[in-house]
């Protein structure tokens, strides 16, 4: 089949890889002029790690990644006030855990395509017209083409979702936070393999020392700090971050001053995408476009890879008849059963030392607010549920 994928990120490149191996003719479309670089770092483990292993990519991902040793909470003076060593998390995952730049992960998957998949950069699908057993797609720049299937792997603000399923407001569930990130060269101090976090109520800033003398900064803050400012340009983004963190101590003044020279600030709302169906006719969604769980949940990149893998496997099972494969891509079956199984409250317990005295603070979250199905389940349980829904088991793709 001729299959076009909008978005050459983690989900899109993974899907292209597996579809190509089944002999499909694949076209990737990416709006950026080249693969995106920088951004932020993701913890990578679980089901996505399994898929990457089947693609033979683990060695490269670990080479590009970081084996973080400690998460450290510091006070205004930079003194350690809490935190944890990551060894328990790594051990729980039998060492199958690393932290890697989102862009490095996407590039590693893309490189595995071996230039065997046509990619159009600096363009985007702007029209999808399904008729007479195929889909005519229009581009912002390229000439229209006829294809058999269209897959939106174009992230949280998916164009394909908007074109085929409806506006963002129908599916987007903002979680009340914004996130921003940027990289600075030559910043001091550096704490190698330590994720350093400083927080005030409603605002948090983290720094992580990376290779090539680069430091990554991540800001998360409640929406109310943003006020009613429209944040459109790079200058708006910097102004919003500077204003929000203007009264925060620690290294904040130095970090904000370093931000002035940065030319690529990531900035977005923390939002989930909640849909009942991920297919419509010959059009499907995967990754954040279909079911963004958000950074508060984690493992979105692993989910994106698993969704791509499962969809490719189902399409292979179904030959040229895509309908049964797409019919399986309704959210409810596997996920709602799992969500139902983990209703109740998730309790987050943070132990800190305040003036020498241990202090325990607890916060409670409804899991459907976090909507991270996998966090409540161990990996074998998740795999079993997928097998129950005849997904992972049927896919059974091999490298
Ligand atoms: C701050 C932060 C921290 C995170 N931490 C983690 C973590 O620790 N672990 C984890 O697993 N996940 C984490 N995530 C989530 C993870 O990054 C996403 O779930 C994952 O990147 C989703 O992959 P994707 O391919 O679906 O989308 P994306 O990675 O967003 O890729 C989409 C691609 O589509 C392209 N595109 C967008 N619009 C168009 C268009 N109109 N036309 C053509 N192309 C388009 C984009 O340029 C991009 O290349 C985090 C997210 C954030 C924001």
For residue 179, the ligand 1 atom closest to its alpha carbon is 1
Q: Tell me if 65 CB under 6 Å of ligand 1.
A: no
CATH class as words, domain 2-65+97-165+275-331+372-395: alpha beta
For residue 11, the ligand 1 atom closest to its alpha carbon is 25
Per-residue pLDDT for the chain (399 aa), expressed as one digit of tens each? 999 999 999 999 999 999 999 999 999 999 999 999 988 999 999 999 999 999 999 999 999 999 999 999 999 999 999 999 999 999 999 999 999 999 999 999 999 998 889 999 999 999 999 999 999 999 999 999 999 999 999 999 999 999 999 999 999 999 999 999 999 999 999 999 999 999 999 999 999 999 999 999 999 999 999 987 789 999 999 999 999 999 999 999 999 999 999 999 999 999 999 999 999 999 999 999 999 999 998 899 999 999 999 999 999 988 878 998 888 655 544 444 433 443 333 333 334 343 444 343 443 433 343 334 334 334 444 455 444 433 444 455 655
Q: Do domains 2-65+97-165+275-331+372-395 and 175-269 have the same CATH topology?
A: no
Q: Tell me if 104 CB under 6 Å of ligand 1.
A: no
Q: Quote the tokens at residue 214.
A: 């680069």
Q: Give the span between the Cα atoms of 183 and 143, in whole angstroms.
A: 37
pLDDT value at position 395?
54
- Nearest-CA residue for atom 4 of ligand 1: 295
Distance 41 CA to ligand 1 centre (A): 11
pLDDT value at position 106?
98
Q: How far is CA 259 from CA 74, 241, 253, in A?
A: 21, 9, 10
368 contacts 338 by C-beta, under 8 angstroms: no
- 7, 99, 150, 207: which to mutate for ligand 1, most atoms within 8 A of CB? 7
Domain ranges of the chain: 2-65+97-165+275-331+372-395, 175-269
Q: How far is CA 106 from CA 52, 128, 267, in A?
A: 11, 26, 19
Distance 301 CA to ligand 1 centre (A): 7
Q: Which residues lie across from 149 on neighbouring strands?
A: 3
- Whole-prediction pTM value? 0.88
Q: Tell me if 36 CB under 6 Å of ligand 1.
A: yes
pLDDT value at position 327?
81
CATH topology of domain 175-269: D-Amino Acid Oxidase; Chain A, domain 2 (3.30.9)
Q: Tell me if 288 CB under 6 Å of ligand 1.
A: yes
Strand spans (E) along the chain: 2-6, 25-29, 41-45, 70-74, 80-85, 97-101, 118-120, 125-131, 134-139, 145-147, 149-152, 172-185, 194-200, 203-210, 214-222, 266-273, 279-280, 283-285, 346-354, 357-365
């Amino acid at each position: 089949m001729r299959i076009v994928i909008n978005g050459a990120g983690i989900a899109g490149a993974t899907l292209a890889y597996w579809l190509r191996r089944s002999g499909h003719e694949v076209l990737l479309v990416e709006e950026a002029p080249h693969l995106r670089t920088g951004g932020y770092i993701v913890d990578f483990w679980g089901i996505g790690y399994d898929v990457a292993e089947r693609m033979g990519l683990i060695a490269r991902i670990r080479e590009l990644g970081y084996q973080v040793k400690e998460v450290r909470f510091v006070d205004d003076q930079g003194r350690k006030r809490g935190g944890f060593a990551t060894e328990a998390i790594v051990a729980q995952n039998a060492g199958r855990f690393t932290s890697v730049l989102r862009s490095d992960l996407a590039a590693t998957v893309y490189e595995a395509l071996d230039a065997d998949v046509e990619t159009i950069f600096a363009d985007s699908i702007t029209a999808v017209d399904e008729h007479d057993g195929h889909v005519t797609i229009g581009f912002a720049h390229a000439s229209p083409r006829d294809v058999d299937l269209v897959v939106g792997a174009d992230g949280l603000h998916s164009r394909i979702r908007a074109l085929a399923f409806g506006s963002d407001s129908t599916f987007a569930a903002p979680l009340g936070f914004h996130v921003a990130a940027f990289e600075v060269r030559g910043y001091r101090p550096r704490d190698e393999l330590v994720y350093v976090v400083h927080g005030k109520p409603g605002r948090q800033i983290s720094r992580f020392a990376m290779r090539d003398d680069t430091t990554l900064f991540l800001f998360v803050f409640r929406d109310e700090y943003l006020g009613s400012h429209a944040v459109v340009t790079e200058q708006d983004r910097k102004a919003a971050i500077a204003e929000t963190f203007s009264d925060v101590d620690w290294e904040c003044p130095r970090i904000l001053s370093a931000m002035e020279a940065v030319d690529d600030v990531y900035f977005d709302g923390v939002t989930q995408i909640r849909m009942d169906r991920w297919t419509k006719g010959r059009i499907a969604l995967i990754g954040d476009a279909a079911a963004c769980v958000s950074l508060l949940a984690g493992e979105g990149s692993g989910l994106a890879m698993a969704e791509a893998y499962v969809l490719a496997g189902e399409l292979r099972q179904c030959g040229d008849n895509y309908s049964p494969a797409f019919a399986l891509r309704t959210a409810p079956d596997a996920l709602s059963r799992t969500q139902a199984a983990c209703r109740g409250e998730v309790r987050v317990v943070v132990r800190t030392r305040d003036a020498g005295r241990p202090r325990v603070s607890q916060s409670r979250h409804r899991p459907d607010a976090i909507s991270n199905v996998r966090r409540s389940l161990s990996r074998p349980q998740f795999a079993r549920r997928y097998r129950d829904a005849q997904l992972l088991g049927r896919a059974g793709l091999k490298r």
